[in-house]
Amino acid sequence: MIVECASDMDPRAIQRLVEHLQARGKPVYRIHGPQPVLVCPDDHDLDPQELQTWPGVRRVIPVRHAFQLAARDYRPEGTQIRVGEALIGGEEPVLIAGPCAVESRAQLLETAYAVREAGAHMLRAGAFKPRTSPYSFQGLGWEGLELLAEVRAETGLPVVTEVMAPEEIPLVAEVADVLQIGARNMQNFSLLKAAGRQPKPVLLKRGMSATIEEWLLAAEYIMAYGNFQVILCERGIRTFERMTRNTLDLNAVPVVKRLSHLPVLVDPSHGTGDAAYVIPMARAAIAAGADGLITEVHIRPQEAWSDGRQSLTPEAFARMVREVRAVARALRELYRDAP
Ligand code: PEP
Ligand code: MN
């Protein structure tokens, strides 16, 4: 159960309410988010009507899931997150594009101009790369972050970039408009807590073996520590299939939309692992109801230092943008005719 308090509710009155709930032997978590909120995950014999009569209590929301703040019940209207000119969770699909990794100033700048020209709203690129092998390119690190800052200033594109360690958050957040938490870190709980204690929006990728409930509980961590600006990203899960790098679980899109109010993006690059399949799955993701896409684009994919095989050329990305916009338009017409 979630008890949402008025922003100006006296902290002492909130404390009395907490004690009232604790007196029933219930765990109560006080969340310091955009509004003061109490979460009582074990609410079996609490009476919502009684709580609703407390002065200062705005809403009492029973939630039937292990995740609470991330549940659709909390915000049935859905969450929208503004980043630059883009509204994630709004009408238009939001398009994030760029190379897997920052490689050089020229590579990043050229790609950024190309994706901006094609219609991207944000630039993606990793400076810190979580690689399976310690012998693979690990990213340019702080030097890569400086290049991201320069290219951001030069192109005006907001930046999405990965952060791998809690202690790196403050410096990465100086450059990043959105902090990415990668699939391999989805259950790095110290990182989730630290991402919750800072204000930048967080793009939370689904772990490659994570169930949807585990993924939403990872989002819940970020929210429970105070940051309600969480964007989910489906990037494919590991299955027995070997013809694609991962199996892009598009089931997750309508399932998450129903269970949660958080916006959901799809990454068809890591989801398929092959540029040949990226555009069809990008179209399918939008048709399934995704709020946008994050796609890898490289000026010369065959020369990329990581993930070249799944990277689109700028020309292919421009085609992807045209096609996903056509799908989004078709959907709007469909719903206009038959709401
Ligand atoms: C990436 O976005 O380049 C990346 C490493 O993604 P994931 O965490 O989904 O593997
Ligand atoms: Mn990549």
- Ligand 1 within 6 A of CB of 182: yes
Whole-number pLDDT of residue 250: 98
pLDDT in tens, 186-222: 999 999 999 999 999 999 999 999 999 999 999 999 9
Which amino acid residue places its CA nearest to atom 2 of ligand 1? 100
Half-sphere exposure of 247 (CA within 13 A, CB side): 11
The residue whose CB lies within 8 Å of the most ligand 1 atoms, and thus the one to mutate among 205, 294, 298, 312, is 205
Tell me the CA distances in angstroms from 140 to 125, 136, 144, 317, one per residue in order: 11, 12, 5, 25
Start-to-end C-alpha separation, the chain: 32
DSSP 14-78: HHHHHHHHHTTT---EEEESSSEEEE-S--TT--HHHHHTSTTEEEEE---SS--TTBGGG-TT-
Give the pair of three-digit tokens for residue 108.
């990043």
pLDDT in tens, 99-144: 999 999 999 999 999 999 999 999 999 999 999 999 999 999 999 9
DSSP 70-124: TBGGG-TT---EEETTEEETSSSPEEEEE-SB---HHHHHHHHHHHHHHT-SEEE
Q: Give the C-alpha separation, 73 to 92, whole Å.
A: 24
pLDDT in tens, 33-49: 888 999 998 876 788 89
Task: Give the pLDDT band of residue 339 (cuts 50, 70, 90).
Answer: low
Which amino acid residue places its CA nearest to atom 6 of ligand 1? 182
- Ligand 1 within 6 A of CB of 268: no
DSSP helix/strand/coil, 193 = helix
Q: Closest ligand to 307 CA?
A: 2
pTM above 0.95, yes or no: yes
Q: What is the mean pLDDT of residues 57-85?
A: 96
Phi, psi of 285 (to 5 degrees): -60, -45
Indicate the helix (H) or strand (E) that contains 227: none
DSSP helix/strand/coil, 153 = helix
Q: What is the mean pLDDT of residues 6-29?
A: 91
Tell me the CA distances in angstroms from 22 to 39, 74, 169, 319, one per residue in order: 12, 22, 34, 57
Q: How many residues does the chain have?
A: 339
- Ligand 1 within 6 A of CB of 207: no
Rounded to the nearest angstrom, the gap between the alpha carbon of residue 237 and the centroid of all alpha carbons in its chain is 16
For ligand 2, a single-atom ion, the residues with CB < 5 A are 100, 307
